[in-house]
Amino acid sequence: MLILLLVATGIALIVALFGKISTYATFTSARQSPGSSFQVIGILDTLQPAHFDTAVPDHFIFTARDKNGTSCKVVLQGPPPAEFAKSKQLVITGYIQQEFFYCNQVRIRG
């Protein structure tokens, strides 16, 4: 009986851990579940302007392209990370709401 309890507890722990691991998405797949949190790998679209929102000063707005080439305006609360403009790849975490991806974390790669 104790072994069965330990196995059940182990399975529950594994399910709980894997349930919290998010997979990488595209902007298209994130749009299918508005409000749900996703991680999107992309690049900074340097042809589009990046700026602080004049209505909400702590919101930095930029455009990113995902691995499929789909672009989306991204709203980051706070300033961009150091070396942001020189990044080769971004991993942004957040959710889609209307036409914006609201980002609560940016990681820079390369």
User: Where are the domains positioned within the chain?
Assistant: 23-109
Hey, which CATH number is domain 23-109, 1.10.1520.10, 2.40.50.140, 2.40.10.10, 3.40.50.1580? 2.40.50.140
- Print pLDDT tens along the chain (110 aa): 666 545 555 555 454 444 445 589 999 999 999 999 999 999 999 999 999 988 887 899 999 999 999 999 999 988 888 888 889 999 999 999 999 999 999 999 87
Phi-psi region of 83 (alpha: psi -120 to 50; beta: other; left: phi over 0): left
Of 69, 68, 61, whose CA–CA distance to 94 is shortest?
61
Element at 43 (helix H, strand E): strand 38-44
Rounded distance, CA 65 to CA 93, Å? Answer: 14
pTM of the full predicted structure?
0.77
Identify the pLDDT of residue 16: 47
Contact 27, 40 (CB under 8 A): yes
Of 23, 90, 24, whose CA–CA distance to 60 is shortest?
90
